[in-house]
Copies of this chain bind each other. A is one copy, B any other.
Amino acid sequence: MNRTYVHGYEQKENIRLQDQAATLVELLHSDTVYPAGTRVLEAGCGVGAQTVTLARNSPQALITSVDIIEASVAEARKNMEAAGLRNVQFCQGDIFHLPFQPGSFDHLFICFVLEHLSRPVEALHALKELLKVGGTVTVIEGDHGSTYFYPDSEAARKAIHCQVHLQKRAGGNALIGRELYPLLSKAGFASIRVSPRMVYVDSSKPHLVEGFTEKTFTAMIEGVRDAALEAGIIDQPTFDQGIEDLYRTTQPDGVFCYTFFKAVAEKT
């Protein structure tokens, strides 16, 4: 299973992921609430950035969160304890070979995971086996191709494309958000409902200017600088201009747009 990450695992990155989670919680997660006693599998929990919200929104659900990387699972467990949440069990494991019986879960929750997989349909297939008939899957992904802004900037678009390119080279897909419907359809799920969750940012929303445009999106693109230059997919002046232009969109007359996609579907 190819699951090389573009995002890295440094402490700074963890803080960014936590910031991102805090800003976007309402937009992405407020409508995901699982009933008491239902068994929920979170596939690919990473350091638990979404797990805290998942556990808080469904305090009586029995959540199992797995990740392939042992260090991430350990960090997630720590974050959960720090948050005082007790309804999550963690376990290290590969999405394609999880140690659960078929039909073990009522619901699947998969957030910011498929974008990193080279075989997302097969992953959904494998996870569907663990879901009981009548159960639901919830998938949330971003789509970097949904990014546009004012003032527009070709350099900024090129810098963003570096991230898309590097993620593709690592076997992932940074444009996967728009694909949730066909992916779930190909994996055999039914009653697929996709809802876009657009983050629209202008200066009347300073928490999003800082929390999303600056600290989440631009920081992420800035984070691939060395890799992009090393890969020779952009020249340094263009990349740096692109980052400057992304920061420019945080000025009082700037606007920034990005769209996440959330899908819910059923196993029939």
A residues with CB within 8 A of B: 143, 145-146, 148-150, 152, 175, 178-179, 181-182, 185-186, 192-196, 198, 200, 202-204, 252-255, 257, 259
Contact = CB atoms under 8 A, between A and B. Distances in A.
Contacts of A150: 178-179, 182
A255 B179 contact: yes
A259 B204 contact: no
Q: Which 9 A-B pairs rank lowest in CB-CB distance, beginning with the nearest?
A: A182-B253, A181-B202, A196-B200, A150-B178, A145-B148, A178-B255, A150-B179, A196-B198, A198-B198
28 contacts: A143-B148, A145-B148, A145-B152, A148-B175, A148-B178, A149-B178, A150-B179, A152-B175, A178-B255, A178-B257, A179-B255, A181-B203, A181-B204, A181-B255, A182-B202, A182-B253, A182-B254, A182-B255, A185-B253, A192-B202, A192-B204, A193-B204, A194-B202, A196-B198, A196-B257, A198-B198, A198-B259, A257-B259
Nearest to A257: B178
A226 to B, nearest CB: 27
A80 B239 CA distance: 53
A264 to B, nearest CB: 12
Contacts of A193: 204
A257 B200 contact: no
Contacts of A257: 146, 178, 196, 259
A248 to B, nearest CB: 12
A255 B186 CA distance: 14
A146 B150 CA distance: 12
A150 to B, nearest CB: 5
Contacts of A192: 202, 204
Contacts of A194: 200, 202, 204, 255
Nearest to A143: B148
A202 B192 CA distance: 10
Contacts of A146: 148, 257
A254 B180 CA distance: 10
